[in-house]
Amino acid sequence: MIVLVGRCGLERLAEALRRAGEAVAVLSATDPAAIDALSPELVYADLFDRDWMRGAWNAAIRGGPPPPDSLAFARAALATLQRFPLVLRGVRPPPAGSGGAEGLPAAVTAAWSDAAALLDGHRVVDVAGLWARHGIVSDAVRFGVGHGEPELGELGESRLGAGDAAQVEAAAVLAWAAARRGPLVKVIVVDLDDTLVHGEIAAVDFAVRNPAWSGDTSVDADTAFWLAPRGLHDALRVCRVRGIALALCSRNDPALVRDRFRLRPELREDLCDLDSFDVVEVGFGSKSTACRRIAERLGVGLDALAFLDDSAVERAEVAANAPGVRVLGGDVAGFRETLLTGAGFFGWSRTEAAPARASSWKSGSAVADAAADGEAALTRFLHGLELIVEVRAACDADASRVEELLVRTNQLRLTGRSTIPSEARVYVASVRDRLADHGLVAVGWFVGEGAERRLGEVAVSCRVLLHRVAGSILALMLAEEPGASVERLDTGRNGASVGLVDEARGGVAAWVRSSAQPPPR
């Protein structure tokens, strides 16, 4: 259930969400009991009535002071709604010129600034930005300063874009719902030619069209930066900070790519090159096969991959031969918005684990390289990796990461249970090695006492799947709860946990060192 709180435009938004198959209710912020009764998984709230700043505008025209706190209702509503999973509808400032040639009066500008400040620190949908990107006209263009909602009128819906406005806003709300529900994209697989660079990297004019990577210092760095397709690069870097792994997939000569896809040193903080990717699959085989290899190297399922390619032919080949991969449609220009705001590309909560994932994926790729040389080589590599597993009782500071693990993790789970009983004893595990600090990567909980003691669930991040530490994590958790019974339930997605219980009964692996860790203060 998604509850919409507010008035302006939300009925149209509700219809758009219902067409997408969602259960939706539109309620008032003055009736929190009604919201409570629905137990919503998401509340999307517009805190500002359509007339909230009319007083400030009229006072500014008269040259008088702004009225007393016009945001009192919004402040009170926010205090009430914060106990729900909450996303706020952004403030829509008047477009340029709506205040006349002299611009907006200072009192009105201050009112908008105060309203925007009220949203700081909250999850917000930038509706004004959404409408602008989709060419949707706000009513403030026609009628001057107001609430800024696209309206139906004598010009008709198709001209003003009110229906489209509801659709694009609904997509943004659904993206936040997806962030709570999961699963999330874990790996972005991106093409090179005509996607990350202009033209083909093998073309004779590659250096002329792409001076950021050519090493041609006759073009200054600033010019080289502005000539690059920097929007997609920026979005990929944001996704990397979110903890999503990046993989390069290109039909090219590997030696040529190694030679040419290298940034000038002064641009390495701004764009991507070969070193930005956790996995590189360059060659002349099919891209569906490359996607399978990427998934295997990172220890994830195909359904954790998103595939970006300018070629409709390549997209169709991957869709047909690598089922489960999320293939992005449209042109390259649309990839940026999808990566930044699309469903599945961001999580509900930002945890300390997200920045750590970049080095974690690199570590997993190194393990995969060792495994390619056989079991003996893998065992030697794991012994030299200096793996340390730390298991401890969970504390309040772990709550966000525990929730994230239960949303993101599918393969290494025993039962698929995602609700932790209030009486459960919860444990978390962290892993680090000489290549990466993987952070908190597992959660498990137990219920019952004595002969009734049992393990309710253990969930281990796939980032350490290839490191073969899941059995050791479970062994250390079971050591905290002697005699607990353990079961495995097939969820249809947890095939990686087959044999995990037997592995744990054998104790901690020879290449793992365990370490006690106090909970954070």
pLDDT for res 161: 53
Give the domain-ending residue among 317, 341, 365: 341
Looking up residue 471, the CATH number of its domain turns out to be: 3.40.630
Question: Residue written as tokens 């609700």?
Answer: 419
What pLDDT is stored for residue 28 in this prediction?
Answer: 87
Give the span between the Cα atoms of 455 and 457, in whole angstroms.
6
| 263's tokens | 């940034």
Structure tokens at 3: 């509850």
Q: Is the peptide bond before 183 cis (omega within 30 degrees of 0)?
A: yes
The C-alpha angle with vertex 85 and arms to 80 and 87, in degrees rounded to 5, equals: 85
Within a domain: 347: no
Q: 162-166, 365-369, 431-435: which range is least confident on average?
A: 162-166
Are 62 and 159 part of one and the same domain?
yes
User: Is 118 within the bounds of a domain?
Assistant: yes
pLDDT band per the 50, 70, 90 thresholds, residue 54: confident
In this structure, the answer to whether residues 49 and 133 fall within a common structural domain is: yes
Asked whether residue 139 carries a pLDDT value surpassing 90, the answer given is no
* Cross-strand bridge partners of residue 460: 412, 442
Tokens (6 digits) for 51: 């007339």
Residues whose CB falls within 8 Å of the CB of residue 12, separated by 6 or more in sequence, listed in order: 162, 163, 165, 166
Give yes or no: residues 156 and 191 share one domain: no
Residues 426 and 509 in one domain: yes
| 322 and 395 both lie in a single domain | no
* Domain CATH number, residue 243: 3.40.50.1000
Please state, for a pLDDT cut of 90, what percent of the chain lies above it: 55
Distance (Å, rounded) from C-alpha 462 to C-alpha 392? 20
- pLDDT (0 to 100) of residue 67: 80
Could you tell me the pTM of the whole model? 0.77
> pLDDT tens digits, residue range 94-129?
776 667 777 777 888 888 888 899 999 899 999 888
Task: Calculate mean pLDDT across residues 261-283.
Answer: 92
132 is a domain residue: yes
Examine residue 521 and state whether it is found in any structural domain, yes or no: no
Q: Which residue has the higher pLDDT, 236 or 67?
A: 236
Whether 390 is covered by a domain: the verdict is yes
Tokens of 24: 């939706």
Shared domain check, 78 and 51: yes
pLDDT band at 160 (very low <50, low <70, confident <90, very high): very low
CA atoms of 347 and 89, how far apart (whole Å): 18
Q: Are residues 154 and 223 in the same domain?
A: no
Are residues 285 and 316 both part of a single domain?
yes
Domain boundary among 130, 165, 181: 181
Radius of gyration of the chain (CA): 26
pLDDT at 280 over 60: yes
174 and 295 both lie in a single domain: no
Compare 271 and 69 and report the one with higher pLDDT: 271
Region of poorest pLDDT, from 86-95, 218-227, 300-309: 86-95
> Do 13 and 81 sit in the same domain of this protein?
yes
pLDDT digits (tens, 9 = 90+) for 439-458: 899 999 999 998 899 999 99
Q: What is the pLDDT of residues 312-349, one digit of tens each?
A: 999 999 999 999 999 998 888 889 999 999 999 998 87
pLDDT at 154: 43
CA distances from 102 to 95, 97, 106, 141, 319 (A): 13, 8, 11, 16, 54
Query: Are 288 and 321 a contacting pair, CB within 8 Å?
Result: yes
Same domain, 375 and 502: yes
Domain count for the chain, please give it: 3
Q: What CATH number is attached to the domain comprising 70?
A: 3.40.50
User: How is residue 126 written in tokens?
Assistant: 């930038």
Domain range spanning residue 231? 187-341
Whether 468 is covered by a domain: the verdict is yes
348 inside domain: no
- 157 pLDDT tier (thresholds 50, 70, 90): very low
| 93-102, 206-215, 493-502: the lowest-pLDDT one | 93-102
Question: How many CB atoms within 10 Å of residue 350?
Answer: 14
Would the pLDDT of 460 be above 50? yes
Domain boundary among 181, 201, 234: 181
Kindly report, residue by residue over 381-420, the tens digit of the pLDDT. Answer: 999 999 999 999 999 989 888 988 888 788 899 999 989 9
Cβ neighbours for 349, distance < 8 A, ≥ 6 positions apart: 400, 403, 404
Q: 2-6, 58-62, 332-336, 454-458: which range is least confident on average?
A: 58-62
Both 45 and 129 in one domain: the answer is yes
For residue 519, is it within any domain? no
